[in-house]
Amino acid sequence: MNGMQFGIFTVGDVTRDPTTGRTPTEAERIDAMVTIAQHAEDVGLDVFATGEHHNPPFVPSSPTTMLGYIAARTERLILSTSTTLITTNDPVKIAEDFAMLQHLAKGRVDVMLGRGNTAPVYPWFGKDIRQAIPLTVENYHLLRELWDHDVVTWEGRSRTPLQQFTATPRPLDGVAPFVWHGSIRSPQIAELAAIHGDGFFANNIFWPKEHFQQLVGLYRERYEHHGQGSADQAIVGLGGQVFMRRNSQDAVNEFRPYFDHAPVYGGGPSLEEFTEATPLTVGSPQEVIDSTLSFRETFGDYQRQLFLMDHAGLPLKTVLEQLDLLGGEVIPVLRREMDGMRPAHVPGGPRHAARVAARESAGGTTPSALIAEDTVTGRAPAAERA
């Protein structure tokens, strides 16, 4: 049975620890991310995801390289990106890199496509930020063609044409990695995910929940409109941020200097204001459980929950302690509660083996034909089932 999936994501920032004044080297930070991923599997988490950045103070410029290395050191963990830049990466390279990673990881691979939040990345890779949405749509359509068809002839506006091209290797078992479309503000991305029956990931870590509730609601509505299934069957992922100690005030006191000096939100709202307005939870494991369970009330049943835990200069020892609490005390309760409340017709999180089985149960349908089906269960569109 595919149930709710829980995991962590990293942005890979190299940040000075405000309590010691020490900044890790890039090598230390990269090694720490690998250690964190391995520990995530050890404590029973399902997913490790890394962002993609091409500017200091971030180090994960080559996510598939890192994930390939982690794949060799883990056995069960689903490996994903929390952003792969669909706007500035060549779709041919994305298709081949992630298919290769699929083979190396024996199918334990997802990809989350996004546009990133660093405007200068566009000219760094020869692109125009004013074309961000058209680039996203065109590049994704090409990526799907490359994965779903053995031979592709294609012409668009953003790159040179392809003539009888075959991306290699082909997706493992003929089933491409599951695609999440990440967005924090663009309804066009929710529409793109719905058209293809892909997942939609709302990284709701900075803005009030009402904003993301609208985006997820739009995605669910359009998912049903396009015949992918009922709105509550749409594949939704959410972000989150937590810091825990057994005593709530200890957690607040320890995390405050990291929050105040964080490269993203340091110097802005107070810790108390930020926790009031966003999903950031700083407190006891029970408070994290209660807060995360409230996400279901806001967004409905969903399939994947990822937490940000290793940012703002937190030392590796502290992050590993956080993972111990998350995997030992929080996730077992969340898994039991969320899977227990999930209606039978609502799918759990996507897994490669289940998607391969769904294709086979549909009579060996070609991957391209599965675009219009529920990519987790293999069910045909609602209009065809009627």
pLDDT: is 108 or 2 the higher one? 108
H or E stretch covering 68: helix 63-72
Q: End-to-end distance of the chain based on CA atoms, in angstroms?
A: 25
Spatial CB neighbours of 3, under 8 Å, sequence gap ≥ 6: 335, 338, 339, 342, 348, 349
* pLDDT greater than 50 at residue 262: yes
**What is the pLDDT at residue 193?**
95
d(CA 147, CA 171): 7
d(CA 288, CA 290): 5
Residue with tokens 């209009």: 383
d(CA 304, CA 200): 10
pTM score: 0.90
Q: What is the pLDDT of residues 38-52, one digit of tens each?
A: 999 999 999 999 988
* pLDDT greater than 90 at residue 85: no
Mean pLDDT of 321-341: 97
Q: What fold characterizes domain 5-385?
A: TIM Barrel (3.20.20)
pLDDT: is 35 or 371 the higher one? 35
Cis peptide before 367 (omega within 30 of 0): no
Mean pLDDT of 194-209: 85
Domain boundaries, the chain: 5-385
* pLDDT classification of 210: cutoffs 50, 70, 90: confident
Q: Rounded mean pLDDT of the chain?
A: 89
* pLDDT classification of 117: cutoffs 50, 70, 90: low
Q: Using alpha carbons, select from 60, 19, 54 the residue that is nearest to residue 36.
A: 60
